[in-house]
């Protein structure tokens, strides 16, 4: 998901652009989905038709039903995503266990998307590079070489993130258009040879397969869901591409995917001993086009990987601004598209994790056997949150359908549990890392804030007034960075009252995040008292903010900036971990790139 706002374009033009932004992941799923499924199943006519029926109705129920229809009808100022669902459901809930449960669901959903974001680039790149085996002079290429090439692509891709994707994104949409037209063309060619394959659109074949294959049929769903990976991007990117353009583009993408899967099924029945069907069907039909197709395939998987990487940057940036994730240094890579960002710590974590996954699994078949838990978990959580919203809003029809798609998503999720023994535990491990980080950080922040015992401004003003009128004052203006301007933290009291550091002009600076993603405003509130003022900055939760520029524009000629440093003492391993997080991750002053020469940290010792 390459974040940004697009203005002045027609719906059709936005639909075209969304091909390269939204549909990279789901668009490349035909590379490996059927190949993986028929590692377990025998390619009989009944099985092939049944699996094609399952794929067709998975795309209809999960992608079209859950995301295009239901999820995209829920937005906040045009924005979509797990955080939006959380924001929409919270106003209907009273404080208590229900709210805590909803927060936990949202945290888990965000963490699973991050876990999915590590496996997706790995399987996409690996499966594309494996297509080199069908080029005559690469037919003997070893698995080690394929892993090495895939790793090099991953290194190049992640190493180039700091430069931003603004220039590269200009060719994303045309390339993905070429990709979708290509898979549609080859799919139609093979469907034309066996038009009866289209009977797989009948849902009865899917139902009959599940009823008559018992446990095998149930666990087959864990591989079928591979066709819908990336469906969540349609909703997550709604704020950048808008609902109607994404819906228009999905109609074209759905037809391309459907005919390609049908074409692969027809090819499989004609050549049941083949593997890597999408590559073989292209090679057998038009061998002279195979190498260009292979190049387009690799580029398409890079685009799919880029979309997921950019999406994780956006998710973590949003989580930071919602105060549920530790501060990280953010670089904005585009002056035109607001949401194009680079987060170094996240980028290198992704690279290391992707390289580890490539080395451990080595082939796309092995990786696919471990894939699915995180993505189906995220789908299920979105379904639960949507069902709650529709129920609380008394939207009965959508509530009923939302329950149905949630049950379907949960069915896929439980079918993926058998993959835990086959490497699926990596999805859990990769998702647990950000989840534990979020839980420890959010609970630590609450506990620390309570222990710091901030003073209400009404209680602080008399003490300040006495000090201000009785002590000599330093020349100039001092700024104090606080979370809440109406509750004065201990470091401000220590500086002004205990240490008697009083400037002629003392400004409390409070930064507040707006409900919407974009826009900013700032200004002074009425003075608390002589020498003490409140300067409030309101910014969208995805807005780039330059504090220095804001201070200059507001006419603030500061001499010093004060901020608090917590020295945490504790015997609890949980709070020791929280203290370590506070030390490792940059503080607010580093997050906003404030000048070091003006900064003064005040240490406050706190026992947790």
| DSSP H or E segment with residue 384 | helix 373-392
At residue 60, the pLDDT reads 96
pLDDT, tens digit, 9 for 90 and up, residues 301-322 = 888 777 677 777 777 777 777 7
Using DSSP's 3-state secondary structure scheme, residue 313 falls into helix
The residues near 43 (Cβ < 8 Å, ≥ 6 apart) are 268, 269, 272
46-55, 76-85, 565-574, range with the lowest pLDDT = 76-85
Give me the count of residues in the chain: 608
The pLDDT-based confidence of 419 (bands split at 50, 70, 90) is: confident
The domains found in the chain, sorted by start residue, are: 11-443 (1.20.1740.10), 454-607 (3.40.50)
Look over the chain and give the mean of its residue pLDDT values, rounded to a whole number: 84
Higher pLDDT, 471 or 139: 471
Q: Count CB-CB contacts under 10 A for residue 145.
A: 13
User: What is the rounded distance in angstroms from the CA atom of residue 518 to the CA atom of residue 338?
Assistant: 9
User: What is the rounded distance in angstroms from the CA atom of residue 37 to the CA atom of residue 209?
Assistant: 14
At residue 4, the pLDDT reads 40
At residue 498, the pLDDT reads 86
Q: Is the dihedral of CA 147, 150, 155, 161 positive or negative?
A: negative
Say whether pLDDT at 241 is over 70. no
In the predicted model, what is the mean pLDDT of residues 432-448? 88
Q: Categorise residue 8: left if φ over 0, alpha if ψ from -120 to 50, beta otherwise.
A: left
The pLDDT-based confidence of 400 (bands split at 50, 70, 90) is: very high
Whole-structure pTM value: 0.80
pLDDT, tens digit, 9 for 90 and up, residues 71-119 = 888 876 666 777 778 878 888 887 777 888 888 888 888 888 888 778 8
């Amino acid at each position: 998901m390459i974040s940004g706002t697009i203005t002045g374009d027609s719906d059709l033009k936005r639909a075209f652009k969304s091909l390269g932004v939204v549909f990279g992941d789901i668009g490349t799923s035909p590379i490996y989905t059927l190949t993986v499924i028929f590692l377990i199943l025998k390619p009989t006519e009944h099985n092939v038709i049944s699996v094609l029926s399952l794929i067709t109705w998975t795309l209809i129920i999960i992608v079209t039903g859950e995301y295009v229809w239901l999820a995209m009808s829920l937005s906040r100022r045009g924005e979509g995503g797990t955080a939006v669902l959380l924001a929409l459901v919270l106003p209907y809930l009273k404080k208590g266990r229900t709210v805590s449960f909803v927060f936990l669901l949202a945290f888990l959903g965000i963490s699973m998307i991050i876990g999915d974001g590590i496996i997706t680039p790995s399987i996409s790149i690996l499966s594309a590079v494996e297509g080199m085996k069908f080029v005559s002079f690469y037919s003997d290429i070893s698995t080690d070489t394929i892993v090495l090439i895939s790793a090099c692509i991953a290194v190049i891709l992640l190493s180039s993130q700091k430069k931003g994707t603004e220039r590269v994104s200009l060719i994303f949409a045309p390339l993905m258009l070429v990709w979708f037209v290509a898979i549609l063309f080859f799919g139609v060619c093979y469907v034309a040879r066996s038009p009866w394959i289209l009977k797989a659109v009948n849902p009865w074949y899917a139902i009959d397969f599940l009823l008559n294959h018992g446990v095998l049929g149930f666990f087959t769903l864990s591989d079928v869901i591979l066709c819908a990976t990336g469906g969540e991007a349609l909703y997550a990117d709604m704020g950048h591409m808008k609902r109607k353009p994404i819906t228009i583009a999905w109609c074209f993408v759905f037809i391309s995917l459907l005919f390609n899967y049908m074409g692969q099924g027809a090819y499989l029945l004609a050549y049941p001993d083949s593997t890597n069907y999408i590559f073989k069907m292209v090679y057998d039909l038009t061998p002279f086009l195979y190498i260009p197709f292979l190049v387009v395939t690799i580029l398409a998987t890079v685009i799919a990987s880029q979309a997921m990487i950019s999406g994780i940057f956006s998710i973590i940036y949003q989580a930071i601004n919602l105060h549920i994730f530790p501060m990280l240094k953010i670089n904005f890579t585009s002056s035109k598209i607001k949401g194009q960002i680079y987060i170094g710590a996240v980028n290198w974590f992704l690279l290391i994790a992707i390289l580890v996954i490539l080395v451990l699994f080595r082939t796309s078949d092995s990786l696919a056997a471990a894939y699915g838990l995180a993505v189906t978990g995220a789908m299920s959580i979105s379904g639960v949150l949507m069902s709650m919203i529709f129920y609380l809003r008394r939207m009965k029809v959508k509530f009923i359908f939302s329950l149905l798609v949630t049950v379907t998503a949960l069915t896929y999720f439980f079918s993926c549990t058998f993959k835990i023994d086959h490497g699926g535990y990596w999805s859990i491990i990769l998702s647990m890392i950000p989840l534990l980080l979020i839980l420890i950080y959010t609970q630590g922040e609450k506990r620390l804030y309570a222990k710091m015992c901030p003073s209400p401004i009404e209680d602080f003003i008399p003490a300040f007034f006495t000090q201000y009128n009785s002590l000599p004052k330093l020349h100039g203006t001092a700024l104090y960075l606080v979370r809440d301007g109406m509750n004065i933290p201990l470091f401000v009291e220590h500086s002004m009252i205990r240490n008697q550091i009083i400037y002629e002009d003392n400004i409390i600076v409070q930064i507040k995040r707006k409900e919407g993603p974009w826009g900013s405003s700032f200004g002074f509130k009425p003075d608390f008292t002589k020498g003490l003022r409140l300067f409030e900055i309101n910014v969208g939760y995805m807005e780039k903010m330059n504090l220095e520029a804001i201070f200059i524009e507001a006419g603030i000629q500061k001499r010093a900036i004060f901020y608090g440093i917590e020295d945490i003492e504790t015997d609890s391993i949980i709070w020791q971990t929280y203290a370590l997080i506070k030390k490792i991750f940059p503080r607010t002053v580093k997050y906003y790139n404030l000048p070091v020469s003006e900064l003064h940290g005040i240490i406050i010792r706190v026992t947790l």
